[in-house]
């Protein structure tokens, strides 16, 4: 039937490998899982009025800034790191304090929002 023959076998293409070199500042730190978890956290904030999220880079790592509108200086910069117990955790980049497991984005969003509200009230 030729090169375009139909087949019942499904073909799956694996994701491309992490780049080993890039033009500009090189980042050799794996980012896929980190970005996936931080994207989940950003989605958890999408329905909350008065808070926006912005991705940025901190020392070669992707982080998420959680910014309350109208409250200057109350940004929470959230990072994601792989711990020895084999799990990814969200943490406050400025304080180093753990926020929670990276796969519990709604609970983490609630905790971050509570931190922002407490800091605003103080």
Query: pLDDT, tens digit, for every residue of 1-35?
Result: 454 444 445 444 444 454 454 555 555 556 788 99
At 119, list the tokens: 């800091």
Q: Would you say domain 32-121 falls under CATH 1.20.140?
A: no
Q: What's this model's pTM, rounded to 2 decimal places?
A: 0.72
Phi, psi of 52 (to 5 degrees): -120, 160
At 50, list the tokens: 């008065």
- DSSP letter at 12? -
């Amino acid at each position: 039937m030729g090169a375009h023959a139909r087949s019942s076998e499904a073909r799956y293409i694996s994701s491309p490998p992490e780049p080993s070199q890039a033009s500009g500042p090189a980042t050799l730190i794996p980012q896929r899982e980190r970005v996936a978890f931080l994207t989940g956290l950003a989605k958890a904030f999408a329905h909350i009025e008065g808070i926006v999220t912005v991705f940025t880079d901190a020392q070669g790592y992707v982080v998420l800034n959680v910014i309350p509108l109208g409250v200057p200086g109350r940004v929470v910069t959230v990072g994601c790191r792989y711990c020895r117990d084999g799990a990814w955790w969200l943490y406050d980049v400025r304080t180093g304090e753990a926020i929670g497991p990276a796969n519990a984005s709604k609970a983490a969003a609630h905790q971050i929002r509570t931190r922002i509200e407490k800091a605003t009230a103080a």
